């Protein structure tokens, strides 16, 4: 029997703009309605994976990664394969993407061969530039500014655990960088409540904060920033942390360990969250640094659910961005 191609256009209200020919560089690239549609499709894909075998047959994906990865690398490759597509992994950990030739030339090459590009980079601008020049969808798989696929998987996980995301209160502890930024934008879009507790000097980027607050004003989400982890944790439904030293910051590890120590998610902090609270982490985790072994390995930990959902959410993203068969063919005049 041939594979069934799911009619995702039938999901909910028609989308204002089709997903096709779109990039996913920031959580802001998807409207709140589109994120909800993404989650509906994710739920269907997760429950009926066989319906989607062959949905991206003939489609090809290239991944350029300047940094290490377990989850993002494998979930994109396994996800693409399970949809019937093909992926190619380009290890860029030894030389940054633009060192051998200009990004625009890479863009104008790969758009002739494959259907989408997934990028993990140091500089966010590398992903922005790739999207400016390539006529195929470009997906952010982590930059210094954002990690949208992670945040979508995390809020999908919370929806599975708690249902209505507008009733969910998350508290985040640690560095106000990439993962925190995408969580903040996703919470704002989905109407959730998020308090970020970060040390002085490590608060989220002011432009991302302003953007998240502007979205929150339209959805009823509540966003707060504090330096006090005890104020943030009180009554939270989900407590989330990330590494204290992100990839590329290894030289600062000792200094950061001292600065971030009061933000460790441990049993004492967890005891102030709601009794039903879940523990979340994007992984990889450093036990006894940002989280104690007792918390991450306890029954409240949903870290492997988050990791599993990376694949289901990314399959939905790939289907939405690539599924129509429509492609922006390059025209020589727009090779700017």
Q: Is 251 a catalytic residue?
A: no
CB of 282 to ligand NVA, least distance (A): 5
Q: Of the listed 36, 98, 133, 147, which one is catalytic?
A: 147
| 121 and 97 Cβ atoms separated by less than 8 Å | yes
Residue 243 binds what, of ligand CP, ligand NVA, none (CB under 5 to 8 Å, by partner type)?
ligand NVA
Q: Say whether residue 247 binds ligand NVA (CB under 6 A).
A: yes
- Cα 58 from Cα 322, distance rounded (Å): 11
Half-sphere exposure of 194 (CA within 13 A, CB side): 32
246 binds ligand NVA (CB under 6 A): yes
- Residue 155: CB minimum distance to ligand CP, A: 14
Run of H or E including 37: helix 32-47
Residues in the chain: 336
Active site residue 120: yes
Please say which residue, 104 or 286, places its beta carbon nearer to ligand NVA: 286
Which positions lie near ligand CP, rule CB under 6 A? Answer: 69-72, 142, 150, 282-284
Residue 321, binding choice from ligand CP, ligand NVA, none, Cβ under 5 to 8 Å by partner class: none
How far apart (Å, rounded) are the C-alpha atoms in residues 176 and 212?
13
Q: Which of residues 152-181 bind ligand NVA (CB under 6 A)?
A: 177-179
- What is the C-alpha to C-alpha distance for residues 266 and 269, in angstroms, rounded to an integer? 5
Residue whose beta carbon is closest to ligand CP: 72
- Prior bond of 119 cis (ω within 30°): no
Which residues lie across from 61 on neighbouring strands? 87, 116
Residues interacting with ligand NVA, by CB under 6 A?
142, 177-179, 242-243, 246-247, 282
Catalytic positions are 120, 147, 150, 242, 282, 310
């Amino acid at each position: 029997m041939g594979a069934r191609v799911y009619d995702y256009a039938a999901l909910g209200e028609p989308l204002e703009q089709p997903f096709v020919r779109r990039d996913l560089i920031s959580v802001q690239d998807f409207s709140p309605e589109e994120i909800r549609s993404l989650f509906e499709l994710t739920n269907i894909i997760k429950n009926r994976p066989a319906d989607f075998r062959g949905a991206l047959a003939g489609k090809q994906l290239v991944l350029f990664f300047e940094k290490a990865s377990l989850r993002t690398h494998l979930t994109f490759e396994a996800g693409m394969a399970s949809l019937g597509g093909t992926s190619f992994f380009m290890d860029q950990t030894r030389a940054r993407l633009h060192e051998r030739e200009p990004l625009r030339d890479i863009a104008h090459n790969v758009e002739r061969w494959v259907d989408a590009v997934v990028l993990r980079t140091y500089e966010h601008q590398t992903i922005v530039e790739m999207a400016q020049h390539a006529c195929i969808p470009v997906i952010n798989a982590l930059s210094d500014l954002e990690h949208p696929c992670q945040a979508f998987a995390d809020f999908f996980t919370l929806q599975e655990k708690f249902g209505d995301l507008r009733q969910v209160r998350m508290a985040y502890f640690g560095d106000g960088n990439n993962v925190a930024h995408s969580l903040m934008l996703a919470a704002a879009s989905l109407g959730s409540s998020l308090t970020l507790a970060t040390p002085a000097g490590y608060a989220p980027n002011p432009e991302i904060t302003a953007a998240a607050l502007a979205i929150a004003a339209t959805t009823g989400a509540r966003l707060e920033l504090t330096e006090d982890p005890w104020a943030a944790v009180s009554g939270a439904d989900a407590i989330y942390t990330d590494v204290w030293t992100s990839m590329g910051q290894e030289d600062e590890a000792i200094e950061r360990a001292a600065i971030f120590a009061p933000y460790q998610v441990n049993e004492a902090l967890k005891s102030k969250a709601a009794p039903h609270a879940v523990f979340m982490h994007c992984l990889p985790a450093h036990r006894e640094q940002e989280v104690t072994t007792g918390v991450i390995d306890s029954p409240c930990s949903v870290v492997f659910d988050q990791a599993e959902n990376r694949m289901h959410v990314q399959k939905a993203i790939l289907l939405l961005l690539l599924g129509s068969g429509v492609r922006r063919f390059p025209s020589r005049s727009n090779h700017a």
